[in-house]
Amino acid sequence: MDGNSKAAEGHHAPWFYKRLQELRSEGHLVDVTLCAEGKELPCHRFVLSICTDYFRAMFSGSHSESKKDKVEIGGVNGEALEMLVDYAYTSKLHITMDNIQPLFEAANMLQVEPVEYQCEEFLKEHLCVETCLCTWALADKMSRRHLSGFSRSFALRNFEEVCRIEEFLQLPVDFLVAYISDNGLHAEKEEHVLEAVMRWVKYNLEERQEHLKLLMESVHFTCMEQDYLQNLMQTDKVFAGIPDIEFMIEDESIPRQIFKEEILVFGGKRECYGNETNPYMYRLDLQCDCIANSPLPQSLQKTAGSAVCVVQNDVIVTGGIMFESKVWRYQTSQNSWGRMAFLKTGRYRHGMAALDGRVYVVGGKTNASNGVRKAKILSSVEMYSSNNWGWKKQADLKLAVCNFGIATCCEKVYVFGGFTGLKKKTDAVQFYDPSQNVWTFAAPLPRRIQGISACTVGFRIYLVGGRLDCVLCYNPQEDCYVKLANNQAPWDHSSATVCGSEIYITGGHSTRLMLCHARVQCYDVSSDTMILGHVENLPVPLRDHHTVTIPKYKAPPIPTVPPVMYEQDMELHWTDTGANVEI
């Protein structure tokens, strides 16, 4: 195709739409008038049929509308219908918060899929505390599963702010019940859930009082202080007058999981291909906001190639390119670092997992040493428990690998993919049964891959990061994989951690752009939706870092000095009541 032909092709679309508008404005060949709420819109059956299958079916010979000059479109807002007709002739659309709901509903009813998509993206971009409830309700009404899950997840994670807005007080009772009874509700205290319900009821007490008993069945009183409840019974006549409220308060059914956790992010590098290390540890809340930071101990500021896991609320860090055999422990309750017994085999780019109070260090790579010219990929496995007083060798992997995903599920340790040497990646999946001290191969991954993160939620393992283009779910019982939501930002060399039914994926870098980023993606397992933070949640762009979930602790929010570092080696004894240190 020559240059003139390409130029003509590029101008065809604007010219074509311009001619369509001229024909419509002149009334030339107009053969139908659409009517809605008193609006009359002359147009062409042919153009409407191209725009949507709804009109294509309507104007076929089998429908009476195909012969009518005027067609009434019931249940559609007149202004929204006019916007859709204009879109058919111009391909242009101006969406605002004022017209989004009627436009979205009209596009959904008339099956104008490109407009539905634009409306959905608009609502996602403008999702906030003030809009999440109405977006959730609208998406449910139109069976838009992804948008519903997206807005639902946002509303659940931001309950403390959402319950204070005017829109919360306008919720229908069935919607409110679904909201407060969801196991993913992020409430700092169950008392806050009760107080939100009482505000909703008292907003229109005469009409809503009859719903109190139903609403109280979704409140978990066993999570509340007894003094608080007794005081409420004495001071709030509406609450005290709820039928059978005394029995509800004494009900010891399974309490709601109150999210009193936060996310630690530490180590890694700030540049895509540079060597500027990150010397800080950041604390994020479950809205992905950084609430504190503190410098890491000097010997932990170069964590490249190390591995981490959490055991009984303490963070264990092993190995790395600089410190292959060393092991550190971070006591979250004391905000202090200490050393543990050295590994038997130094390693980096390995994996760690905690199962039944035991720590497993798996595979990895060892530097060239003692005359060995090349680094060695390891198959060895070590385990630490309170009975060991040190690290003990376990059965070797079936296949030596490094840079893999690792997780525990169904009382087993799983290793996904990895690097096997000689520029080879693998699709192999291996699992370890501690009761038999045996590794076995499971169903291979759909592709060969390395550098992924594996996160367990319930009885499934979710794989993210690396060169995956979506979340990959592994079912250990059926030994199979399912592709789920796509990632919203580059996540190669990212890190991931689990809180409740959500997976938080921090940082990463784009191979194409050669840039690190500071975004946090949150994947909601229950709704299969991925939410990308609207701002850069991490203080700096990061890759090859560590992310773990720990309980909130009572220490000062922003330490002014580095955490305490004990330079002596120490043994760690885990018990049923916690961790004790002997130096």
Give the tokens for residue 310.
């959490």
pLDDT at res. 375:
81
* Within-domain flag for 132: no
Q: Are residues 284 and 380 in the same domain?
A: yes
| The pLDDT value given to residue 131 | 96
CATH number, domain at 559?
2.120.10.80
Q: Which of 193, 224, 250 is the last residue of a domain?
A: 250
Same domain membership, residue 166 and residue 115: no
Token pair of 177 as six digits: 């019940």
The predicted model scores a pTM of 0.77
Are 279 and 229 part of one and the same domain? Answer: no
Q: Are residues 246 and 102 in the same domain?
A: no
CATH code for the domain of 25: 3.30.710.10
What CATH number is given to the structural domain containing 180? Answer: 1.25.40.420
Residue 5 within a domain: no
**Where among 205, 222, 250 does a domain terminate?**
250
Whether residues 501 and 361 fall in one domain:
yes
Cα 313 to chain centroid, rounded: 22
**Using the 8-state DSSP alphabet, how is residue 222 labeled?**
G
Q: Which structure tokens are listed for 216?
A: 């109280």
Pair 275, 238 in one domain: no
- pLDDT at res. 259: 66
Size (the chain), residues: 583
23: left (phi over 0), alpha (psi -120 to 50) or beta: alpha
Are residues 393 and 489 located together in one domain of the fold? yes
Q: What is the pLDDT of residue 552?
A: 74
Instruction: Please tell me whether residues 298 and 410 are part of one structural domain.
Output: yes
Per-residue pLDDT, 580 = 32
Which of 222, 250, 278 is at the close of a domain?
Answer: 250
pLDDT at 35: 94
The answer to whether residues 244 and 293 belong to one domain is no
pLDDT at 429: 98
pLDDT of residue 183: 81
Residue 523: closest CA among 123, 47, 150, 132: 150
Q: What is the pLDDT of residue 562?
A: 44
Instruction: Determine, yes or no, domain membership for 6.
Output: no
Domain that residue 220 falls in: 145-250
Q: What stretches in the chain show pLDDT beneath 70? A: 1-13, 16-17, 22, 26-27, 252, 254, 257-259, 272-274, 368-373, 388, 534-535, 553-583
Q: Report the helix count and the strand count for the chain, using DSSP H and E.
A: 17, 36
The SS3 assignment for 140 reads helix
| Number of separate domains in the chain | 3
Assigned domain for 373 exists: yes
pLDDT for position 369 = 62
pLDDT at position 273 is 65
Is 510 among the domain residues? Answer: yes
Other beta carbons within 10 Å of 578 = 12
Q: Are residues 214 and 280 in the same domain?
A: no
| pLDDT reported for residue 446 | 96
Strands 70-72 and 32-36: parallel
The per-residue pLDDT for range 46-103, each reduced to its tens digit, is 888 888 888 888 888 777 777 788 999 999 999 999 999 999 888 889 999 999 999 9
For residue 137, is it within any domain?
Answer: no
pLDDT digits over 278-336, tens only? 999 999 987 788 888 889 988 888 888 999 999 988 999 999 988 789 999 999 888 88
| Within-domain flag for 34 | yes
Looking at the fold, whether 476 and 338 belong to one and the same domain comes out as yes
Query: 139 lies in a domain?
Result: no
Are 452 and 417 spatial neighbours (Cβ–Cβ below 8 Å)? Answer: yes
554 and 576 part of one domain: yes
Helices (H), 245-317: 245-250
